[in-house]
A and B are shown apart, each in its own frame.
Chain A
Amino acid sequence: MSVSSNQQFNFKKAFITYDALLSIMPIMFLIVFIIQVMAYINNDAIYTLQKRELFNFLVAAADYTVKKSDAVAVDSLGNLQPNLIDGSKLSSVNANISTGVSKFKIDISLSNLKDEPPNDQTCVYRLVVNSSNNKEIKKLYVCGEYANS
């Protein structure tokens, strides 16, 4: 096959171009793959930390409610009685905590011992005695989620 001099096909240049193309493609795929895995790991770490932060907040809120909040009953000497809870005052405690910490939405409620969590949010429970209902042992559920979710 004859090719004129100005149209001569340069095999050397073509091979180099083709070789470079085949080298760059796997490297590009590798970089994209690594970035995707990094993004996944990063999101997973953020999710885990948020879960921990929410859990710690709920535990702290539940402990406050059980020991120091307005819902804790007071004895004749004026001392607080931890774990003895007046269920009718829980809504004001809920409002106080929600006002103070706007990052989370929380919901505090009293339930019977066998009851499941009142909603599908993250919940922790504490065992308390209901002062207004024949001193019955109840579960105090503190459920919450991030306010922006």
Chain B
Amino acid sequence: MQTLEAILSFLFFFMFATYTLSQMDYTKPNYELYRYQLANDIWRCLYLTGDLSYYPILNSEAENKLEQIYDGTGLCVYLQGVQTTIPRSCTSKGGGCSEDNITMKKIWFDSFSADVMTFTVCTPK
């Protein structure tokens, strides 16, 4: 009878331990790195298409691209100090930044000086 109790206790313990371990965070996908890569992609794409050439002034084409990126991916982009770069759809649809955002700082060189661009990407809620 004691052997039986021991077996039952072991089975319960094993079940509990397996369940607890499987619920821990490290077993689930971690999206942090991927989100950083996406945020950097947006910056690279704007850079490659020449839309950041006149930063901190952005032309309407750059705004349209940010709007398209938001429509296609749900990623809202905010460039600090540039009021007009908040995509209209981000704010009108109740999007916008929550705590769940990624902020990157890019050092921006021109002919005369270096400037730091603060670049925030908000992921969909």
In the assembled complex, A34 has its CB within 8 A of some CB on chain B:
yes
Chain A residues closer than 8 Å to B14, beta-carbon distance: 38
B34 pairs with A83, CB closer than 8 A:
no
Chain B residues lying within 8 Å of A81, measured Cβ to Cβ, are 48
Most buried by B among A42, A45, A127: A127
Hey, which chain B residues are within 8 Å of A137, CB to CB?
45, 49, 65, 68-69
Residues of A within 8 A of B (CB): 27, 30-31, 34-35, 37-38, 41-42, 44-45, 48-49, 51-52, 55-56, 59, 62-63, 66, 81-84, 112-115, 124-129, 135, 137, 139
Q: Is the interface of B mostly helix, strand, loop or mixed?
A: helix
- What's the Cα separation between A113 and B74 when bound, in Å? 11
* Bound-state Cα–Cα, A126 to B45, Å: 10
Q: Mark contacts of B43-83 with chain A using CB atoms, 8 A cut-off: 1 yes-contact digit, 0 otherwise.
A: 01100111000000000000001001101110000000000
Asked if B114 is an interface residue, CB under 8 A from chain A, the answer is: no
Name the A residues within 8 Å of B38 (CB-CB).
126-127
A22 CB → nearest B CB, Å? 15
B6-38 CB mask vs A (1 if < 8 Å, else 0) is: 011001101100110110000111100110011
Checking B7, B8, B34 against A59 with a beta-carbon cut-off of 8 angstroms, the contacting residue is: B34
How many residues of B are in contact with the other chain, CB < 8 A? 32
CB-CB < 8 A to B41: which residues of A?
A: 66, 83, 126-128
In the assembled complex, B107 has its CB within 8 A of some CB on chain A: no
B27, A42: Cβ atoms under 8 Å? no
A55 to B7, CA, bound (A): 38
Told that A82-B44, A113-B72 touch, could you supply 7 new A-B pairs with CB distance under 8 A? A30-B8, A31-B8, A34-B8, A34-B12, A48-B28, A59-B34, A83-B45
Contact at A31–B27, with CB atoms within 8 Å? no
Q: Is the CB of A113 within 8 A of B29?
A: no
B66 to chain A, nearest CB (A): 10
Which residue of the partner chain, among A38, A41, A55, A115, contacts B29 with CB atoms under 8 Å? A55
Tell which of B4, B8, B19 touches A41, judged by Cβ atoms closer than 8 Å.
B19
- Tell me the smallest distance from the CB of A118 to a CB of chain B, in Å: 15
